[in-house]
C-alpha cells in the first residue's frame, strides 16, 4: 500500500504490470484517449521511467492526475554482481515483499534473462531446491515484468537502436509459470509488445513441468515458445521425479505439447528439458527410451546435469555419462545440447533460483539455473 497513512485514498494502480489492452482500458476508464497508453508504456518500458513528471509529451495536468491515482513501482535492486564470465545476477526486492534473483547470461549477441514467476513452488519435484522449500506466493504481473524492467535499467542509458542487453527471456526461475497463469501471460505480452520490450515470440520461452489444462489455455491466448521439463522417459520414473506426473502423465503431456506447437503454425520446436541425475535417469537405456518416446514430437533436447544441494541425496553424473547420453540422443537425430555452468564466482552457477523468503545466511544452498541453449 502506498497510501497507508491516508485511509480515504484507495490503492494506486501500478502501471508497470499492465499490458497494452489493460493500459488502454485504464485510460478509457479515467476519461482519456487510448493513445496515452502508448506514450506512457514507452516511457516506462523503453526508458525505465518511474516518475510521471519525466513524461514530457504528457500534459502537466494529466501527469499530476496520474501521480494521484497511479504509480510505477518496480523491484528494488539490492545487489548487482557480474561474474568473470559475464553472467550477471541481481537480487531484487519485490514490490509486495520477498526477494528473488534474476540472472542474465550473455552469449555473443544474445543476452538471456532468467525470470521467476512465483516465490517458491508448490510442485515439489524431487531434484529441485525451490520445490523443497515450498510455496510462498504468486508474483504479480508488475513483479514479473519488473525483473526485465529493473535489469534493463541497470544498463541505462543505452542506444536502443543498436544495443540489446536482453534479447531472450526464459520463464525458468523460481516457480511454475502456468500456475500463475494470468500474471505470466500479461508479463509475457509486455515482453513481446513493441511499446514495451519488443522481443520476438521465438525468444520468449515459458517452461513448465506440465500443467496440462493451463497449457491448453495458453495455446488460445499466447504464442510464446515452449520448454517442457520432462526429466524421465517413462511414467514410473517421472512420477517419482515430478509428482505432478501422477495427475498429468507423459502421454497427455506430449499430446498437449504437440497440440500447442501445431497451433503456432510456424514449425517451432519445443525444448525438452532433462535434468540428468546419476544412476536415476542417466543410463543409456533411458536415452534410448527417450529417443523413442519423442519420435513424433517436434523438439530439441536440453540436458541439465543435476546441481546438488544439501537437502538432496542425488548426484551429478560424470562428464562421460552426460556425453554418452548426449551421443545417443544425437545419433537418434535429436539436436541435443548440454546446459553449461556459468557464473560460479558470484554464486550464480548451476541450479535454480532460490529467493530470499528463507534464511539468507545459507548462501551455499542457493542455486540458479543457467539457460544457454534456449533460443
Ligand atoms: N517450474 C518450471 C520452471 C522453473 S524450473 C519447470 O519446472 O519447468 C526450471 C528448470 O530448472 C527445470 O527444468 C529444471 O530442470 C531445472 N532444475 C531445477 N532443479 C535443478 C537442479 N537441482 N539441477 C539442475 N537443474 C534443475
Ligand atoms: Fe517447481 Fe519447476 Fe522446481 Fe518442479 S522443477 S518444483 S515445477 S520450480
Q: Which ligand is nearest to the CA of 171?
A: 1
Within the chain, strands assigned E span 13-14, 70-71, 76-82, 88-93, 99-107, 110-114, 118-120, 135-138, 168-171, 204-208, 225-229, 270-276, 299-305, 336-338
Q: Is the pLDDT of residue 249 over 80?
A: yes
Contact 187, 156 (CB under 8 A): no
Q: Is 101 known to be catalytic? A: yes
> Of 128, 176, 170, which is closest to residue 147 (Cα–Cα)?
170
Q: Pick the catalytic residue from 24, 101, 143, 176.
A: 101
With cut-offs at 50, 70 and 90, classify the pLDDT of residue 214.
very high
With cut-offs at 50, 70 and 90, classify the pLDDT of residue 132.
confident
Q: Is the pLDDT of residue 96 over 50?
A: yes
Pocket flag, ligand 1, residue 274 (CB < 6 Å): no
Within 167-208, strands assigned E span 168-171, 204-208
User: Distance from the CA of 368 to the center of ligand 1, in angstroms?
Assistant: 9
Q: Is 350 known to be catalytic? A: yes
Q: Is the pLDDT of residue 353 over 80?
A: no
| b/e per residue 133-167 (b: at least 16 CB within 10 A) | bebbbbbbbbbbbbbbbbbbbeeeeeeeeeebebb
- Give the Cβ contact number of residue 370 at 10 Å: 26
Average pLDDT across the chain, whole number: 90
Rounded to whole angstroms, the Cα distance separating 238 from 125 reads 10
Contact 72, 140 (CB under 8 A): no
Q: Is the pLDDT of residue 204 over 60?
A: yes
User: In a mutational test of the pocket of ligand 1, which residue from 181, 270, 304, 316 has the highest number of ligand atoms less than 8 Å from its CB?
Assistant: 304
Pocket flag, ligand 2, residue 248 (CB < 6 Å): no
Q: Residue of the nearest CA to atom 9 in ligand 1?
A: 172
Q: Pick the catalytic residue from 71, 128, 350, 373.
A: 350
- Closest ligand 1 atom to 208 CA: 8
Amino acid at each position: 500500500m502506498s497510501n497507508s497513512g491516508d485511509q480515504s485514498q484507495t490503492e494506486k494502480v501500478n502501471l508497470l504490470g499492465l499490458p497494452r489492452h489493460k493500459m488502454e482500458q485504464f485510460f478509457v476508464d479515467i476519461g482519456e484517449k487510448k493513445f496515452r497508453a502508448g506514450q506512457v508504456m514507452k516511457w516506462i518500458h523503453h526508458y525505465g521511467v518511474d516518475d510521471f513528471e519525466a513524461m514530457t509529451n504528457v500534459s502537466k495536468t494529466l501527469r499530476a492526475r496520474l501521480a494521484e491515482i497511479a504509480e510505477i513501482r518496480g523491484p528494488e535492486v539490492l545487489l548487482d554482481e557480474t561474474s568473470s564470465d559475464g553472467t550477471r545476477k541481481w537480487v531484487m526486492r519485490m514490490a509486495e515483499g520477498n526477494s528473488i534473483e534474476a540472472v542474465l547470461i550473455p552469449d555473443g549477441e544474445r543476452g538471456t534473462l532468467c525470470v521467476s514467476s512465483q516465490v517458491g513452488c508448490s510442485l515439489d519435484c524431487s531434484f529441485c531446491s525451490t520445490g523443497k522449500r515450498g510455496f510462498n506466493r504468486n508474483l504479480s504481473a508488475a513483479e514479473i515484468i519488473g525483473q526485465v524492467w529493473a535489469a534493463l535499467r541497470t544498463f541505462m542509458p543505452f542506444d536502443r537502436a543498436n544495443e540489446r542487453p536482453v534479447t531472450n527471456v526464459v520463464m525458468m526461475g523460481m516457480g511454475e509459470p502456468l500456475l500463475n497463469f494470468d500474471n505470466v501471460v500479461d508479463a509475457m505480452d509486455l515482453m513481446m509488445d513493441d511499446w514495451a520490450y519488443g522481443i520476438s515470440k521465438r525468444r520468449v520461452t515459458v517452461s513448465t513441468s506440465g500443467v496440462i489444462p493451463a497449457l491448453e489455455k495458453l495455446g488460445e491466448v499466447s504464442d510464446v515458445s515452449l520448454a517442457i521439463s520432462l526429466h524421465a522417459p517413462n511414467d514410473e520414473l517421472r512420477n517419482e521425479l515430478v509428482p505432478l506426473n501422477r495427475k498429468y502423465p507423459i502421454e497427455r503431456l506430449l499430446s498437449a505439447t504437440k497440440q500447442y506447437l501445431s497451433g503456432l503454425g510456424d514449425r517451432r520446436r519445443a525444448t525438452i528439458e532433462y535434468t540428468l541425475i546419476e544412476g536415476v535417469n542417466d543410463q543409456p537405456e533411458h536415452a534410448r527410451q527417450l529417443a523413442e518416446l519423442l519420435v513424433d514430437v517436434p523438439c530439441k533436447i536440453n540436458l541439465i546435469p543435476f546441481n546438488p544441494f544439501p537437502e538432496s541425496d542425488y548426484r551429478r553424473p560424470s562428464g562421460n555419462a552426460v556425453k554418452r547420453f548426449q551421443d545417443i540422443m544425437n545419433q537418434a537425430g535429436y539436436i541435443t545440447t548440454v546446459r553449461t555452468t556459468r557464473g560460479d564466482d558470484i554464486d550464480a552457477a548451476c541450479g535454480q533460483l532460490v529467493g530470499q523468503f528463507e534464511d539468507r545466511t545459507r548462501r551455499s544452498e542457493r542455486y540458479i539455473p543457467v539457460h544457454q541453449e534456449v533460443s
